[in-house]
Structure formats: structure tokens, C-alpha cells
Amino acid sequence: MLAAYANCVRIPELRKRILFTLGVITLCRLAANIPCPGVDVNQAEALFANMGQRGGGLLNMFDIFSGGALQNFAVATLGIMPYITASIILQLLMPVIPALEKLHREGESGRQKINQYTRYLTLAVCVVHGVAATKLMMSPSLLTGSDAIQVVANPGRFFMLTTVIILTAGTMLTVWLAEQITDRGIGNGTSIIITVNIVSRLPAALLGLITLARAGGQTNIIHVLILLVMFFAVCAATVALTQAVRKIPIRHAKRMVGRRMTAGQTSYLPLRLNFSGVMPLIFGSAILMFPRMLFGFVPFMRPWVRFFEPDSYSYMIMYGATIIIFSYFWVATQFNPVQIADNLQKQGGYVPGIRPGQPTADYLDTVMTRITLAGSLFLTAIAVIPMFLSGQFNIPYTIAAFFGGTSLLIMVGVMLDTLRQVEAYLLSHHYDGFLTKGHLRSRRG
């Protein structure tokens, strides 16, 4: 494996792509540490410290995804999340709006138009998120319940207008840099930036864990070692969840190609165990945030707020149920067994023992339903680990977030995809890959 990393420097094209990616990442991290004009960074940090840093909050998740930019209220506070939100909205609208689905099937030209629509929608989402974030910094009492913390020295309409413009410009610059990584760097730019932002919070999490161990109390060095072992175990389980597929055997009938008869071939249709990825976790966190906010504003419903506290068992049960529901919803909107069955029939392929056409579609739908249940249950177990650690063992959420949930799934998935691309370059230049066994290493004759 160490030789593979050394070989990355020997390939000129790969070396340029890696250095370009590192340069763009440096610019993104610089934008995440430049505060907006008129903001007291010390007061902003005190605001987040006063929130308790407990798990499940939408603001905590955004702060982790922005790499601490929200806590600093920096130029890149919104990060890449508005672009992710716009992309998810368009993906969900494709099965509903035939014009979008038609563009998606047109190939490269259609995808370019969809990307253009995504950028336009990103601008609208940036304005909405920017206004909400600016109002939050202008009126921190909405979170703390008191006026002891003043983040903005001179709040007003001018500050609102200029800050929204700065935040929107920062997000669009980040989106452009992400596209540059995709085109001229290595890996998917959007995923790389999110992963780097999450990893940038890891040193602070480790420092906080060491501080807890030195302070004594409920956490000592034995607990830290147990947590480290647990971290590696959860990482291994997350890799297994990300890589797991159900292979459906596909056989192709003999057919004439020119004047020659080609023999039938056998291939596999891989169905991912975790088909929906991290989408159910994001949707579940966002949806369960609204009842908590609504009950907090209505006086006679405030006693119900405790059921939506992230460290409560009721919240974990509702969160798990939401993850399972959205896993099936995502599969229902993104996985089309009828289209797959039609494509197999047109290509002369069939599943052994299953008749082509509608029976094949029914079989694929049944298999996908069963593996989605297993994948969603596994995903739920990984998702509630940070909440359980934060609520039952009083571990700050900034530390517990790395033991499961959205952050760990994104890091594992993006790192695996990036390693596959790097290994593809190595194998194309006749170098050994990272692993001699396993899924990353492709088979060569």
C-alpha cells in the first residue's frame, strides 16, 4: 500500500491532479476561516458553546459540514449545502416532472441543462439560507433565550443585505471550485469539499476527547481506549454497509454480430444494500427539527418538546422510523425495475429462472424491497450511535458525530470513491493498486 502512494507521485498527470485538488481545498478552508464583516467571532463561538453542542441539531450538522465556518460565521458559512439541497430537490422532481426526466435521458446535453437549473436553484436556496443564518446571528436570543450574547455589533437592514450577498457569493465560489476539482482534480469536487470540512473538525474532536479524559469524572483513559476501538469497529461496519451489494445473475442469449454468432455471456446486476446513501439521515434530521421548533413556540405544547430532544429514546425511535421510511421512499423514486427489465429484454438478457418483462420487474422489486429493509436497519443502527453516546455518556456531539451518522458515512463513501479513481490511474499505468485483495483492486489477466 505504501508503494502505491509513492507511485502516485511518479505519474505526471495524477500528480498534477492531486496537487490541484490540494490547492483548491486550501482555498476552501481559507474561505471557511474569514469571518463576515461586522461579526464578533468570539461572541459567535460563545453562542455555539452556549447551545450545549448536543446531537441531532440541524445547526450542529451544518457546522460540521461547513468545517466550522458556521461557528465563525465566515464567508463560506453556507458551504456547499445549498447546492446539495438544490440537487436533491431536482432529483426528487424528476419522476414528477416529465420534462426533467426527458432532459436526464438526453445524455450530456441534458445533464448540462440540469446542472444549469441546479445553479439557478442554488442561488434561491442561498438567499433563503443566508437570510435565516443572518437573522440568527442578529438575534441569538432565538437560540439562547437571553440577550447576553451579541454576535453582530450593528444589526440592521444594511448588515442583512451585505451579509446575504457575501454568503451567496461564497457558496457560488465554492460550487465553482468544486466543479474545478471534478474536471481538473481527483474525485468528485462536491463530495471532496464536504469530506475535508468534516475531517477538519476531527483534531478538535480528539482534543476534546483528551480534555475529557484528563478532567476525570465519568470519562477516563480506559473509556477513551474503548471509544477508539469502537470507532474502528464502526468504520469497518460502515465500509461493509457502503460496499455491500446483492448480485443478480444476468445471462445473455446467443446473437448474430455481423456474420458471427456470439456465445451467451453471464454478468451480474449489482443492487446496493444501502441504495439511498446518506439521504434518509439528512431528511430525517431536517423533518424532526420542525416539531421541536413548533412546539417551542406554542406555549401549551412546550411539554412535548422533551420527546424531540436528540438524546431521548423517543427521538431515536422516531429518527429510526423516519430513516426506514425515507429509505423506501428514495428507492421508490430512484430505482425503476420496469425500465431495468425492459433494457435487459432489449439487450437479450434475462435472469435465470425468471421470465423476461414484467416477471423480471416484479422479481427485482421484491429483491430490492428485502435488501432495503436490511440496509435501512443497518443504517439506523449507525445513525443513532452518536445520539446514544451524546445522551447516555455525556460526550459532546462534536466528538460523538465521528462515531457514526451522516459524517462517518460521507467520509467513508467519498474516500472509497476517491481511492478507486486513484487506483484506476495506477492500474492504467501498470502500477500496483492499493490492495492485493478486496473490492478496490480490479482483476487483471
Indicate which CATH number applies to the domain containing 109.
1.10.3370.10
Same domain for 243 and 115: no
Same domain for 53 and 25: yes
Chosen domain end from 174, 200, 226: 200
What mean pLDDT is predicted for residues 223-252?
A: 86
Supply the pTM of this predicted model.
0.77
CA–CA distance, 279 with 287 (Å, rounded to integer)? 12
Same domain for 252 and 182: no
Same domain for 157 and 108: yes
Closest Cα to residue 178, out of 119, 113, 114?
Answer: 119
- Would you call 320 helix, strand, or coil by DSSP? helix
Q: Is residue 209 part of a domain?
A: no
Amino acid at 382: I
Q: Retrieve residue 284's grid coordinates.
A: 430525517
CA–CA distance, 284 with 278 (Å, rounded to integer)? 10
Q: For the chain, what's the residue count? A: 445
State the distance between the two ends of the chain, measured CA to CA, in whole angstroms. Answer: 21
Q: Is residue 444 part of a domain?
A: no
CA–CA distance, 28 with 30 (Å, rounded to integer)? 5
pLDDT band for position 441 (cuts 50, 70, 90): very low
Q: Does 154 have pLDDT greater than 60?
A: yes
Q: Which residues pair with 272 in a beta bridge?
A: 245
Q: Is residue 422 part of a domain?
A: no
Find all residues with CB under 8 Å of 198, minimum gap 6, and list them.
Answer: 64, 65, 67, 407, 410, 411
Same domain for 196 and 219: no
Same domain for 145 and 33: yes
The sign of the torsion formed by the CA atoms of 107, 262, 342, 373 equals: negative
Model confidence pLDDT, tens digit, residues 64-89: 778 888 888 889 888 888 888 888 88
pLDDT band for position 369 (cuts 50, 70, 90): very high
The sign of the torsion formed by the CA atoms of 292, 294, 295, 297 equals: positive
Q: Does 23 have pLDDT greater than 50?
A: yes
Q: Domain limits at 248? A: 215-256+263-403
pLDDT band for position 368 (cuts 50, 70, 90): very high
Q: Does 403 have pLDDT greater than 90?
A: no
Residue 57 DSSP one-character state: -
Q: Is residue 39 part of a domain?
A: yes
Q: What is the pLDDT of residue 146?
A: 57
With beta carbons less than 8 A apart as the criterion, state whether 401 and 232 touch: no
With beta carbons less than 8 A apart as the criterion, state whether 369 and 273 touch: no
Q: Is residue 425 part of a domain?
A: no
Where do runs of H (alpha helix) occur along 35-156?
Answer: 41-50, 58-65, 69-72, 81-93, 98-105, 108-138, 141-144
Same domain for 227 and 168: no
Number of domains in the chain: 2
Chain centre distance of CA 277: 8
Chosen domain end from 384, 403, 422: 403
Q: Is residue 299 part of a domain?
A: yes
Q: Is residue 103 part of a domain?
A: yes
Chosen domain end from 155, 174, 200: 200
Same domain for 219 and 195: no
- Would you call 261 helix, strand, or coil by DSSP? strand
Q: Does 140 have pLDDT greater than 80?
A: no
Same domain for 245 and 299: yes
Q: In what order do the strands lie in the sheet with 266-272?
A: 266-272, 245-252, 349-350
CA–CA distance, 180 with 190 (Å, rounded to integer)? 10
Same domain for 171 and 23: yes
Model confidence pLDDT, tens digit, residues 169-213: 999 999 999 999 989 988 888 888 888 888 888 887 778 777 777
Same domain for 139 and 48: yes
With beta carbons less than 8 A apart as the criterion, state whether 282 and 89 touch: no
Same domain for 230 and 162: no
Find all residues with CB under 8 Å of 401, minimum gap 6, and list them.
Answer: 55, 60, 64, 201, 205, 386, 407, 408
The two most distant CA atoms of the chain are separated, in Å, by: 84
Q: Is residue 326 part of a domain?
A: yes
